[in-house]
């Protein structure tokens, strides 16, 4: 994998001319984006602007019709099951609704994918799962079931589960939107620590304060296009387009 | 003329009831395996396969089981395949059961939230791993009660195998009636035996349904 990392200027994610439509309704109208390794990107925009769809294209949950998408130099090819499997090992995803497996304990949620995909197992895997849970502050929940946890705890388990595959890139799709306000902080704290450790992060978020604090670049999407890009200080302080001005005004 | 005691009637019916049970088990196990295979095919992202399985289900749900039994028995013979009532009944009931079970289970698979598939996909699980470790355990929990309930339909459905000469409970009842000329007594016994087989199962199905509300 190290030789492919050198391709494509070493971009973590490279998107060129990506278009996606549902039937005749085009939701992504030509997206170009390069994400450097270790970069933290916040994607903001109104609902329906295509920001979640773009995120879901990166790990192949959504199929796009035109354009190119590469992850660590490897092109995304839907038809190639082995290539998709290898791509998805390098891209973790965290969802708005947590999507923990309700029939498995917290520990088995974390260990399922490494056990199946990477054939890890035994005491070593269990030890690593416990470390990951400790890292998200849930060392004592190894044997609990998802429905015994609060929303914030479930989301932190989901982060540990994604990290168990050692991904290079993490996609966060509005991961605090389904949480009670008092639980948002504990999840964002974990994401912030990941950013500080150099994880490449693409996050769709409504938490503007968090986006401003943690991200290296903010992308404002509007009507299926990247409408404005820039460092958070610039973009929030001096929005150049009327659409972004309007959007920022509407959320305050 | 020979006199038949009630015990003679009941004893012979009980002996024949064994074959009702065996035929039900064959139909259920065979139908379950075929139904599971069809379920997997139907869950794959292949529209033509989905249509094919949907057509199969429609065919068996839209025609009487009696016709399916006739067609299996006489149709196979017409094709030059030497067949027995045993084989034809097992085949027809297996196909019939598989069509209903795959439909029941398909509904249960669809009841598993989309996000569960997506989470499993994002973790790089293959389709079969997603099915085996994430979707089927959750769908299975939903499926237990309706599946057990359908078993009752299969048991009663085996009565139709009597028309192609398969000697199970119903056929034995007819034969005993012909010898004793006591149709009301004999068929009452037959009905009671079906009830004795089916009632515990449908009761169990209700118990399971109640238990479903409790997680893990």
The reply to whether residue B134 touches residue A101, judged by beta carbons under 8 angstroms, is yes
92-151 of B, contacting A, C-beta below 8 A:
113, 115-116, 118-126, 129, 133-134, 137-138, 141
Interface contact A223, partner B, CB < 8 A: no
- DSSP state, residue A76: P
Write down the ipTM of this complex. 0.92
CATH number of the domain bearing residue A22: 3.40.50.300
Distance CA A141, CA A139 (A): 6
> Tokens standing for A84?
């998709």
| Confidence tier at B2 by pLDDT (50, 70, 90) | low
Q: What is the pLDDT of residue A9?
A: 66
Task: Determine the topology of domain B6-103+143-211 in CATH.
Answer: MetI-like fold (1.10.3720)
The reply to whether residue A101 touches residue B113, judged by beta carbons under 8 angstroms, is no
Interface contact B213, partner A, CB < 8 A: no
Which segments of B71-135 does DSSP mark as H helices, in order? 76-78, 85-111, 114-122, 127-129
Return the SS3 of A229: strand
Report angle CA A209, A215, A218 to the nearest 5 degrees.
Answer: 85
Q: Please check the confidence at residue A6 and state whether its pLDDT lies above 50.
A: no
Q: What is the pLDDT of residue A11?
A: 93
Q: Which residue of A has its CA nearest to B132?
A: A116
Distance CA B56, CA B78 (A): 22
Q: What is the pLDDT of residue B77?
A: 87
Q: Which residue of A has its CA nearest to B214?
A: A147
First to last CA, chain A: 45
Q: Please check the confidence at residue A184 and state whether its pLDDT lies above 90.
A: yes
Q: Please check the confidence at residue A90 and state whether its pLDDT lies above 80.
A: yes
The reply to whether residue B124 touches residue A88, judged by beta carbons under 8 angstroms, is yes
CA distance, residue A49 to nearest chain B CA (Å): 21
| Confidence tier at B207 by pLDDT (50, 70, 90) | confident
User: Looking at per-residue confidence, does B3 or B55 come out higher?
Assistant: B55
Return the SS3 of A26: strand
Choice among A78-82, A87-91, A98-102, A229-233 with the minimum mean pLDDT: A78-82
Name the residue among B199, B106, B187 with its Cα closest to residue B152.
B199
Distance CA A202, CA A210 (A): 13
| Confidence tier at A136 by pLDDT (50, 70, 90) | very high
Contacts of B115 in chain A (CB under 8 A): 95, 97, 99
Mutate to test the interface with A, among B46, B116, B119 (most CBs of A within 10 A): B119
Length of chain A counted residue by residue: 252
Q: Please check the confidence at residue A8 and state whether its pLDDT lies above 90.
A: no
Number of domains observed in the structure of chain A:
1
- DSSP state, residue A24: T
Of B126, B133, B141, the CB nearest to A85: B126
The reply to whether residue B124 touches residue A112, judged by beta carbons under 8 angstroms, is no
pLDDT in tens, B60-119: 999 999 999 999 999 888 888 888 999 999 999 999 999 999 999 999 999 999 999 999
Residue A125 structural domain: 2-251
């Amino acid at each position: 994998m190290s030789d492919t990392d050198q391709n494509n200027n070493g971009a973590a994610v490279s998107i060129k001319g990506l278009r996606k439509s549902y039937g005749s309704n085009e939701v992504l109208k030509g997206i170009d984006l390069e994400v450097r390794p270790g970069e933290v990107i916040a994607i903001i925009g109104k609902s329906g602007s295509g920001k979640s769809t773009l995120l879901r294209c990166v790990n192949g949950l959504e199929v796009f019709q035109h354009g190119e998408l590469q992850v660590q130099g490897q092109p995304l090819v839907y038809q190639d099951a082995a290539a998709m499997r290898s791509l998805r090992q390098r891209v973790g995803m965290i969802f708005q609704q947590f999507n923990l497996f309700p029939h498995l304990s917290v520990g088995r949620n974390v260990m399922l994918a490494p056990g199946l995909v990477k054939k890890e197992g035994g005491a070593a895997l269990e030890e690593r799962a416990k470390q990951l849970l400790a890292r998200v502050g849930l060392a004592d929940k190894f044997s609990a079931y998802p429905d015994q946890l609060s929303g914030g705890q479930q989301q932190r388990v989901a982060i540990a589960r994604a990290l168990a595959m050692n991904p290079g890139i993490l996609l966060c799709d509005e991961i605090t939107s389904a949480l009670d306000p008092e639980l948002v902080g504990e999840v964002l704290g974990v994401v912030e620590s990941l950013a500080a450790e150099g994880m490449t992060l693409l996050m769709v978020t409504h938490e503007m304060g968090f986006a401003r604090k943690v991200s290296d670049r903010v992308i404002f999407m509007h009507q299926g296009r990247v409408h404005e890009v820039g460092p958070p200080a610039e973009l929030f302080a001096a929005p150049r387009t009327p659409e972004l001005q309007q959007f920022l005004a509407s959320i305050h | 003329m020979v006199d038949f005691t009630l015990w003679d009637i009941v004893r012979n019916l009980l002996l024949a009831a064994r074959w009702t049970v065996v035929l039900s088990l064959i139909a259920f196990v065979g139908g379950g395996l075929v139904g599971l295979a069809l379920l997997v095919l139907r869950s794959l992202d292949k529209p033509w396969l989905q249509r094919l399985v949907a057509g199969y289900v429609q065919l068996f749900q839209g025609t009487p089981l009696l016709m399916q039994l006739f067609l299996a028995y006489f149709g196979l013979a017409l094709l030059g395949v030497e067949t027995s009532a045993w084989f034809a009944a097992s085949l027809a009931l297996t196909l019939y059961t598989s069509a209903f079970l795959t439909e029941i289970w398909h509904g249960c698979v669809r009841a598993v939230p989309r996000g569960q598939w997506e989470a499993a996909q994002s973790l790089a699980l293959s389709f079969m791993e997603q099915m085996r470790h994430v979707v089927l355990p959750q769908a299975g929990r939903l499926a237990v009660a309706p599946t057990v309930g359908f078993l009752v339909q299969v048991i009663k459905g085996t009565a139709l195998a009597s028309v192609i000469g398969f000697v199970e409970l119903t056929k034995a009842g007819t034969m005993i009636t012909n010898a004793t000329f006591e149709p009301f007594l004999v068929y009452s016994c037959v009905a009671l035996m079906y009830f004795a087989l089916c009632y515990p199962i449908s009761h169990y199905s209700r118990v399971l349904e109640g238990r479903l509300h409790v997680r893990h």
